[in-house]
């Protein structure tokens, strides 16, 4: 009998979404264990002592931390549609390179543009737009529905914060990230991602994230302000 799978996460967490979407795409039955990020459980702190964050995947008694490490584990430990291409060159250049871009180049300016204010925000918005232009170019050249092919995969999950947060961006930040006629390939990708059945069926979906961030908006703005003052 298959070992039980539990995902310790928070419904407002884009990182939990990555792991949950991977489980759904792979067709793995799981239980979502809800974590209150303002009052972290002893279980979470015990399973993820280093970072003390969600998500944590529990496969039987084996705990795996770090959302993108979890996604790769889900891909390798379970049968189901592959989340990465099989050919090493495709794995490197479409899947891993673009996952790296989404996580380590695109992410910071995006979130900073969302939560910062005034002059500082302008710089982050500019940087976020440069990244969107690079993404647009890749999607246009690559000509597939998703970042590494015609099914949702690893780099899409890495960049899923964009499809999940884009509609809310103006409402939360008070500024616009792009005009309605800009970045058409990227808009299409966002639409495709949000239309995917496995993605839509997640508990950590677009609506849940919207509800969470509306409540937490001021808290995140304050956190970012304090962080920027430190430098």
Which of these ranges, 62-70, 159-167, 196-204, 207-215, lies near a second copy under the rule CB under 8 A? 62-70
- 142 makes contact with a second copy (CB under 8 A): no
User: CA 122, 138, 146, 154 torsion: positive or negative?
Assistant: negative
Query: Does residue 73 interact with a second copy by CB under 8 A?
Result: yes
User: What is the phi/psi pair of residue 150, to 5°?
Assistant: -100, 10
Minimum distance from CB of 62 to a second copy (Å)?
5
Exposed, middle or buried, 184 (CB in 10 Å: 0-12/13-18/19+)?
exposed
Q: Which of 13, 72, 204, 208 contacts a second copy by CB under 8 A?
A: 72
Assess 104 for contact with a second copy (CB under 8 A). yes
- Beta-carbon contacts of residue 42 (< 8 Å; ≥ 6 apart): none
Q: Is the peptide bond before 78 cis (omega within 30 degrees of 0)?
A: no
Question: Which of 64, 125, 178, 224 is the binder for a second copy (CB under 8 A)?
Answer: 64
By CB under 8 A, name the one of 66, 136, 156, 196 that touches a second copy. 66
Of 5, 33, 37, 77, which one interacts with a second copy (CB under 8 A)? 77
Please count the residues of this chain forming the interface with a second copy, following the rule CB under 8 A: 30
Interface stretch with a second copy, choices 8-16, 87-95, 144-152, 187-195 (CB under 8 A): 87-95
Q: Is 47 in the site for a second copy (CB under 8 A)?
A: no
62 near a second copy, judged by CB under 8 A = yes
| Pairing of the two strands 5-9 and 31-34 | parallel
Binder among 8, 11, 54, 68 for a second copy (CB under 8 A): 68
Torsion of the alpha carbons at 54, 59, 64 and 68, rounded to the nearest 10 = -80
Q: Are 177 and 113 in contact (CB under 8 A)?
A: yes
Question: For residues 181-220, which are near a second copy according to CB under 8 A?
Answer: none
Q: How many CA atoms lie within 13 A of 107 on its CB side?
A: 16
Instruction: Give CA–CA dist 77/2, Å, rounded.
Output: 12
Q: Which residues bind a second copy (CB under 8 A)?
A: 50-51, 59, 62-66, 68-70, 72-73, 76-77, 88-89, 91-93, 96-97, 100-101, 104-105, 120, 134, 228, 231
């Amino acid at each position: 009998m298959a070992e039980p799978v539990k995902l310790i996460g928070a419904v407002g967490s884009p990182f939990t979404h990555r792991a949950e979407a991977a489980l759904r795409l792979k067709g793995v039955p799981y239980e979502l264990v809800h974590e209150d990020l303002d009052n972290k459980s002893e279980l979470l702190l015990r399973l993820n002592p280093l970072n003390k964050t969600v998500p944590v995947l529990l496969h039987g008694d084996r705990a795996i931390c770090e959302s993108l490490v979890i996604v790769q584990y889900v891909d390798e430990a379970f049968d189901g549609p592959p989340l990465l291409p099989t050919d090493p060159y495709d794995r490197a250049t479409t899947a891993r390179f673009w996952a790296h871009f989404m996580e380590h180049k695109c992410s910071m300016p995006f979130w900073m543009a969302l939560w910062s204010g005034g002059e500082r925000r302008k710089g982050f918005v500019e940087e976020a737009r440069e990244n969107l232009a690079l993404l647009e170019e890749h999607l246009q050249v690559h000509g597939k529905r998703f970042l590494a092919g015609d099914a949702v995969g690893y780099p899409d999950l890495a960049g899923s914060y964009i499809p999940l947060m884009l509609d809310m961006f103006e409402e939360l930040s008070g500024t616009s990230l792009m005009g309605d006629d800009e970045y058409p390939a990227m808009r299409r990708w966002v639409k495709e991602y949000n239309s995917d059945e496995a993605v839509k069926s997640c508990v950590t979906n677009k609506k849940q994230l919207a509800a969470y961030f509306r409540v937490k908006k001021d808290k995140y703005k304050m956190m970012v302000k304090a962080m920027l003052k430190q430098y």
